[in-house]
Amino acid sequence: MVYKTTGDVLVSYGRAEMVPYLMTYQDVGMACATGEALTPLLLSFESVGSDPDKLATLVYTVAATCTESMALEEELRYMRAVKEGRVNEAQDARSRQKELAEISARRQYEAYRRSFVEFGEADNGKCPRLRNDFDELVWMIGQISGVQSLLNDATADTAVGVPRDVAAKVERGLACLDNEKWWGVPRGGRAALWNILPMLKPANADAWAELERATRLGFEQGVRLPSALYAISAYSVGDDQRVRRAIREFANNDKNLDPNYAMIDSIAGMLIKGISDRMWTEATGKRTPYGNLGTFWDDTRKSSESTINIDDLL
Amino acid sequence: MRYGKALIAAAASSLLLGVSAPAISAEKRTLCVFDIIGTSGDMYNIMRDYRTAAIEQGYDLELKAYTDENIAAEDLKAGQCDAAAITGIRGRQFNSYTGSLDSIGAIPNYDALRTVVQVLASESPRITPNLRSGSYEVMGIAPMGAAYLFVKDQAINNVNALAGKSIAVMEYDAAQGKMAASVGMSPVMSDITNFAGRFNNHSVDICFAPVMAYSALELYKGMEPNGGIVDYVLGQLTLQVIARHNKFDSEFAAWSRSYFFNSVFDRAMRIINSANNEIEDKWWIEIADQDKLRYDEMMRDARIELTEQGIYNKDMMSLLRNIRCRLDAARAECSDQRE
């Protein structure tokens, strides 16, 4: 009884105070540690009757950022090793990347699963009842985690067995949110899915135009998650020009960010940096040089040397 | 002086380290990989490991993801890709021998498929020459799953019931349309982006699809409430690495084929099995043994006809028949030599 009361207080405190507070942080590492440390504590109250499903979606999602960033390091190590012909190290890094991708997929799928346990699935034009901003945020994050779990499971040779219809379900699930209110993520996310699964695309829809619009909306409102979705989508289909443009624009639009959702913007930043690091490493063997996000190794520098005649200076 | 010695020792050891771990200089080549979801997909993921293993064999393959298989095939022709990983059906234009692996009803189960891939990777002088055709050479074969008929009504459980029904077929595979027409179905030309939609909104009665499509394309929607999957393997989809012959040496091609059999086959089977596990048992439509025999017979007649028309390769048809009969000598076809 005391335990249940404690659980209820914790769940309600988490939702009313901790989540909004954490959202103002820019420090993704802190969110990762919070997720890994608090998830078992929070969910243990389930066995005494509390209902932490909504919070579970959020804490599992941030816990997955830990393994996501570790997996990225392994992927970069793999790329460097391949580039230098060190096959054993490359294979070792790939194995470790897959182990971490499997853990990410498990965490993200659990985040997604909790969201539909709580709200139900969106189908046949029906949407779950989302009562307030918090519900909408949980729903949105749950949907995005669903897609990420599918992609990480593919890296892990489908060890988790994330159902493949998650992509189609998320495409419908995101349609249940107000696009303007959530920085363009709902339509941007759907359009990103149309690019990788063209059979989900409604007739006459233009995925890139949608992603473009969503990206603008994100910049205007100061949460740049749609820009990251754009870059991920372009990177998946190997569209180098679009990826570069997305990364440059992300880097150039770092003013007027919404302090209430700094965490979401930082996670978007982590995703963008991850793509930039992969591209840099593939091309040069090194990640994006510090402070140089938005630039590429083969950029032609605007040089002033050619216009200066040294003789004139002497 | 002491420091001087230490410096020399350090310089010497770094030199030694440099010598003991030389970077392998591998020839650069481009491998274009068809994966419907691009760099995040299962096939691309498998190819990344292939790339790593290939470095030890002297080739550094730059991977390029293609979500449109046709463009990958065209880029292979145009020399933009030194090799391409595409489906067997699409690869038929480069090699009719391995391009006939997906012929209808010719590989009834995964054991048979494993034997086929093993034989093709055996480097036997009676097999390997067939893997080369014109400027192209097949350097690896991986399973992509068995294909079945998905029907919107369980009553479509025997050959006679197929007549008069509409079926979505892939327009780039001539065999599908001909086969459908031969049993009285009306083929509706479709492509990968629209066949599932047509089946799911019931504008066609039947579609022909691999197990992987069941969940990803939500084919259960088209089967609800009374449909199912006819439990008869209509064919095996494969992924094949087709290379420009003059871009790789023959040792590498042989190594690559054995890598696909030894390392890729089981991994790809795990992915297929996980897709299979997503299919609820209630959807499988058992068919009677005598109907199975009729299907076998019908598929055989169709293959013989399509071989005569030049769509399937005669040598491959005879190899597949021998493999089927080796695994199950009781099959009716094993007492004659029509294929």
Which three-class secondary structure state does DSSP give residue B31?
strand
Round to whole Å and give the CA distance between B204 and B186: 9
State the Cα–Cα distance between residues B274 and B35, nearest whole angstrom.
18
High-pLDDT (> 90) share of chain A, %: 77
Give the tens place of pLDDT for each residue, B300-337: 998 999 999 999 999 999 999 999 999 999 888 998 87
Helix axes B289-308, B314-327, angle to 10 degrees: 160
For B58, which residue in chain A has the nearest alpha carbon? A85
Which pLDDT value is given to residue B10? 53
DSSP secondary structure letter of residue B59? E
Element (H, E) at A3: helix A2-13
**pLDDT confidence of residue A142:** 96
Average pLDDT over residues A193-222: 92
Please report the pLDDT score of residue A198 as a whole number.
84
Find residues 118-177 of chain B whose CB sits inside 8 Å of chain A: none
3-state SS, residue B63: strand
B215 touches chain A (CB under 8 A): yes
Is the CB of A87 less than 8 angstroms away from the CB of B25? no
CA distance linking residue B75 with residue B85, whole number of Å: 12
A197 to chain B: which residues are within 8 Å by CB?
36-37, 216
Model pLDDT for residues B140-151, shown as the tens digit of each residue: 999 999 999 999
pLDDT digit string (tens) for B25-77? 789 999 999 998 889 899 999 999 999 999 999 999 999 999 889 999 999 99
Q: Whole-model pTM?
A: 0.88
CA distance B33 to B66: 6
Band of pLDDT at residue B12, cut at 50, 70 and 90: low
Task: Name every chain B residue with its beta carbon within 8 A of the beta carbon of A165.
Answer: 215-216, 218
Burial B67-94 (b: 16+ CB within 10 A, else e): bebeebbebbeeeebbbbbbbbbbbbbb
If you ran DSSP here, which 8-state letter would residue A301 be given? P
pLDDT value for B21:
44
Q: Which residues pair with A109 in a beta bridge?
A: none
pLDDT (tens digit, 9 = 90+) per residue, B182-207? 889 999 999 888 899 999 999 999 99
Cβ pair B100, B136 in contact under 8 A: no
Concatenate the DSSP letters of all residues of B161-193 into one string.
HHTT-EEEEETT-HHHHHHHHHTT-EEEEE-TT
pLDDT beyond 90 at B17: no
Q: Evaluate the CA torsion angle B43, B45, B51, B52 in order and state its sign.
A: negative
Q: Which residue does chain A place closest to B201, by CA atoms?
A: A124
Q: Do A164 and B216 touch (CB under 8 A)?
A: yes
A 10 A CB-CB count for A39 gives 20
Query: Minimal Cα distance from B279: which residue of A?
Result: A163
With an 8 Å Cβ cutoff, are B197 and A90 in contact?
no
**Residues of chain A with a CB closer than 8 angstroms to some CB in chain B:** 78, 82, 84-87, 90-91, 94, 151, 154-155, 157-158, 161, 163-165, 167-168, 195-199, 201, 235-238
Kindly provide the ipTM of the predicted complex, given to two decimals. Answer: 0.86
Q: How far is CA B200 from CA B83, B112, B196, in A?
A: 36, 32, 6
Q: Is B64 on the interface with A (CB under 8 A)?
A: yes
Q: Which of B29, B30, B55 to mutate to test the interface with A (most CBs of A within 10 A)?
A: B55
**Predicted pLDDT at A18:** 87
Domain boundaries, chain A: 1-7+29-177, 178-287
8 Å CB contact of B52 and A90? yes
Q: Using the beta-carbon criterion (under 8 Å), do B275 and A86 form an inter-chain contact?
A: no
| Per-residue confidence (pLDDT) for residue B19, from 0 to 100 | 43
CA A306 vs CA A40, A300, A301, A314, B168: distances in Å: 62, 13, 12, 16, 63
Tell whether B212 is within 8 A of chain A (Cβ): yes
Say if residue A312's pLDDT is above 80: no
Task: Please check whether residue B26 touches A, CB under 8 A.
Answer: yes
Partner-chain residue, chosen from A154, A163, A197, that has the shortest CB–CB distance to B278: A163
pLDDT for position B3: 52
**Cβ contact A161–B41 (<8 Å):** no
Q: Quick one: residue B179, left, alpha or beta (phi over 0 = left, psi -120 to 50 = alpha)?
A: alpha
**Closest-approach residue (CA) in chain B for A89:** B52
pLDDT of residue A2: 87
The answer to whether A167 contacts B64, with C-beta atoms less than 8 Å apart, is: no
pLDDT band at A157 (very low <50, low <70, confident <90, very high): very high
The helix/strand/coil state of B229 is strand
A301 token code pair: 């520098």
pLDDT of residue B183: 85
- Average pLDDT, stretch A165-182? 95
Contact A228, A271 (CB under 8 A): yes
Please report the number of interchain residue pairs, chain A to chain B, with beta-carbon separation below 8 angstroms.
95
What is the CB-side half-sphere exposure of residue B219 using CA atoms within 13 A?
30
User: Which chain A residues are Cβ-neighbours of B65 within 8 angstroms?
Assistant: 236-238
Confidence label for B176 from pLDDT (cuts 50, 70 and 90): confident
Q: Which of B42, B52, B197 sits opposite A158 (nearest CB)?
A: B42
Q: How far is A3 from chain B (nearest CA, A)?
A: 38
Is-contact A230 A275, C-beta < 8 A? Answer: no
- Mark out the alpha helices in chain B (DSSP H runs): 2-20, 42-56, 69-77, 88-91, 110-120, 159-162, 174-182, 195-200, 211-216, 220-223, 250-259, 265-277, 289-308, 314-327
What 3-state class would DSSP assign to A298? coil
B191 close to A (CB below 8 A): no
* Tokens standing for residue B50: 């292939």
**What pLDDT does residue B37 have?**
85
Q: In the structure, what pLDDT confidence band is assigned to residue A203 with cuts at 50, 70 and 90?
A: confident
Mean pLDDT of chain B: 90
Distance CA(B153)–CA(B199), nearest Å, equals: 12
* pLDDT at residue A304, rounded to an integer: 52
Measured over the CA atoms of residue B146, residue B147, residue B148 and residue B151, the dihedral's sign is: positive
Q: Give the pLDDT score at A306.
A: 59
A108's tokens: 């993200």
**A85:B23 CB<8 A:** yes
A309 exposed, middle or buried (CB, 10 Å; 0-12, 13-18, 19+)?
A: exposed
First to last CA, chain B: 85
pLDDT of residue A257: 96
What local confidence, expressed as pLDDT, does residue B181 receive? 87
Residue of A82, A157, A197 with shortest CB distance to B267: A157
Please give, rounded to a whole number of angstroms, the shortest distance from the CA of B221 to a CA of chain A.
Answer: 11
Chain B residue with CA closest to A239: the answer is B65
pLDDT, one tens digit per residue, over A14-53 is 888 889 999 999 999 999 999 999 999 999 988 888 888 9
Q: Which residue has the higher pLDDT, A76 or B36?
A: A76
Ranges A71-75, A263-267, B25-29: which has the least confidence = B25-29
Give chain A positions within 8 Å (CB) of B34: none
Q: Are strands B136-151 and B206-210 parallel, antiparallel or unpaired?
A: antiparallel
Q: B277 to chain A: which residues are within 8 Å by CB?
A: 161
The minimum CA-CA distance between B52 and chain A, rounded to whole Å, is 6
CATH number of this structure's domain B27-144+237-277, picked from the four choices 3.40.190.10, 3.20.170.30, 3.30.70.600, 3.90.1300.10: 3.40.190.10
Look at A151 and B267 and tell me if their CB atoms are within 8 Å: no
- With cut-offs at 50, 70 and 90, classify the pLDDT of residue B159: confident
Q: Is B263 on the interface with A (CB under 8 A)?
A: no
To the nearest whole Å, the CA of A221 is away from the closest chain B CA by 29
Number of Cβ within a 10 Å radius of residue B20: 7
Q: Where are the domains of chain B?
A: 27-144+237-277, 147-234+282-313
Do B27-144+237-277 and B147-234+282-313 show the same overall fold? Answer: yes
The per-residue pLDDT of chain A, averaged, comes to: 93
Q: Measure the N-to-C terminal CA separation of chain A; round to a whole number of Å.
A: 88
Q: How many CA atoms lie within 13 A of B75 on its CB side?
A: 21
Task: Report yes or no: B112 at the A interface, CB cutoff 8 Å.
Answer: no
CB pair distance less than 8 Å for B56 and A87: yes
pLDDT in tens, B220-267: 999 999 999 999 999 999 999 999 999 999 999 999 999 999 999 999
The whole-number pLDDT of residue A16 equals 87
β pairing state of B166-170 and B206-210:
parallel
* Contact map slice: B 29-58 vs A, CB within 8 A: 36-42, 45, 48-49, 51-53, 55-56
Q: Report domain B147-234+282-313's class.
A: alpha beta
pLDDT, residue B22, reads 42
pLDDT reported for residue B6: 56
- Looking only at the bridges linking them, the beta strands covering B186-190 and B166-170 are parallel
Residue B5: pLDDT band by 50, 70, 90 thresholds? Answer: low
- Which of B24, B42, B46, B52 is the best substitution to test chain A (most A C-beta atoms within 10 A)? B52
